[in-house]
Chains A and B, each alone.
Chain A
């Protein structure tokens, strides 16, 4: 079916889609920005486990089973092909993000971080999707050679829902326990312990280096550095990164030697103990089953669209 839109129809349709989206993005931006604090604090890198101690549904869930249950659900959600089911997954994830009772700013910041990529998909896929027989094509006035595929728009919306669903699960998954506990749980599930140790080291170093970088960059700006598109900028930034790296390397080398002096033998002592209860099994069962239900409905094509 081909529908040729008139100017008023095209304008009204575009506005009906773009306006709510723009308003939502604007509000999201304002809300996330409002959370930034001034001064020396590192607002740019949120400590992932800043709210790791709590008593919500997710905080009380054994970290090993939480990883299994939520990861399986995340993969199930990412595999969906139907828009209705992707929206259902998004609703479940949203409920989870609310249920973990930590400030929503972290979750919203995640959505904002993805918004550029997802907007690009929303804009590009409808105009470039493959042609299928019998599909609905909209022709915008002034764009005779560039049909708008309604199927492509549905596909892009499905992706937006799935990506947001998995992103909203990140806070319940990683922010509801101290990072050390989550990593110890990963180790119990068979992830090499050295990998967890490196995640822990990196998570710490990132804050340190970020602070170092902002100090160095500030002093560059004070000395008159203005980034532009030229070789001088490339040279300044290249040297800046090289210096950042050398400083970081020497600093962490000293820290490592100090650790060795204090008896570090390649492992961090972990006080995490795990004991799963019936409630943990029930929670895991619930999440695995909801993931399985979504996937089977999707495979059987039982959803309306």
Chain B
């Protein structure tokens, strides 16, 4: 779920924008020039993947996949997520332009954490990769939902109800994300394992 313009108070909006700008600047500095096209590819393919809607019982959910982005890009995943969210706002108005900082934190921090976690969990076998993918996929969504709820709660007591509903709405996404991430990671492990090195060369 994306936060639209005007929901968060200006202090929270500006603070999260500052943190996001710092995060993007930091990951830009670490990324080498020839890695930029790879980040653009990951960003665009996950942008496209986020348009896939899957049925969950009577409703449908769309994928976010912060866990897989983290696994693929490692430390550069924050940059990728911020870029993807900017494009979503630019093209579709999913998430407001002024709320971009908050949205980038909400999805980018889980991706970063999942990237680290994935590298330590993934081991060398297919099964381990599947488990790591499921854990990161589920955890990424869970963290994103928690950050969303925390941001909404920061907006004041009037938003506690919205925050609770947002958390509840993420429960189906959590299961779908864990499943799809596990299968996407095992697919990549079988087909192109070098991509899962998380942006680290030589692994």
Choose, from A1-9, A42-50, A56-64, A277-285, the stretch at the interface: A42-50
Interface string of B64-97 (1 = CB under 8 A from A): 0100100010000000000110110111111011
Contacts of B99 in A (CB 8 A): 78
Please judge, given known A-B contacts A229-B55, A239-B187, A252-B41, whether A155 and B158 are in contact too, CB under 8 Å: yes
The answer to whether A29 has its CB under 8 Å from any CB of chain B is no
Query: A125 CA to B152 CA in the complex, in Å?
Result: 12
Contacts of B43 in A (CB 8 A): 198, 202
For A239, give its contact among B47, B63, B84, B183 (CB under 8 Å).
B183
The answer to whether A137 has its CB under 8 Å from any CB of chain B is no
Interface centre among B41, B86, B87, B181 (most CB of A within 10 A): B41
The answer to whether A27 has its CB under 8 Å from any CB of chain B is no
Chain B residues 124-151 with CB under 8 Å of chain A are none
Please judge, given known A-B contacts A78-B10, A249-B38, whether A234 and B180 are in contact too, CB under 8 Å: yes
Flag if B183 contacts A117 (CB, 8 Å): no
The answer to whether A159 has its CB under 8 Å from any CB of chain B is yes
Contacts of B176 in A (CB 8 A): 234
Closest to A166 in B: B5
Main SS class of interface, A: helix
Contacts of A158 in B (CB 8 A): 6
Contacts of B93 in A (CB 8 A): 109-111, 113-114, 167, 170
Closest Cβ of chain A: how far from B125's Cβ, in Å? 17
The answer to whether A235 has its CB under 8 Å from any CB of chain B is yes
Contacts of B89 in A (CB 8 A): 170
Closest to A260 in B: B34
The answer to whether B171 has its CB under 8 Å from any CB of chain A is no
Closest Cβ of chain A: how far from B132's Cβ, in Å? 14
Contacts of A170 in B (CB 8 A): 89-90, 93, 97
Flag if A163 contacts B180 (CB, 8 Å): no
Query: A206 CA to B24 CA in the complex, in Å?
Result: 21
Closest Cβ of chain B: how far from A252's Cβ, in Å? 5
For B36, give its contact among A109, A194, A208, A213 (CB under 8 Å).
A194
Choose, from A17-25, A33-41, A126-134, the stretch at the interface: A126-134
The answer to whether A124 has its CB under 8 Å from any CB of chain B is yes
For B160, give its contact among A128, A159, A228, A235 (CB under 8 Å).
A128
The answer to whether A245 has its CB under 8 Å from any CB of chain B is yes
The answer to whether A286 has its CB under 8 Å from any CB of chain B is no
Query: A78 CA to B5 CA in the complex, in Å?
Result: 6
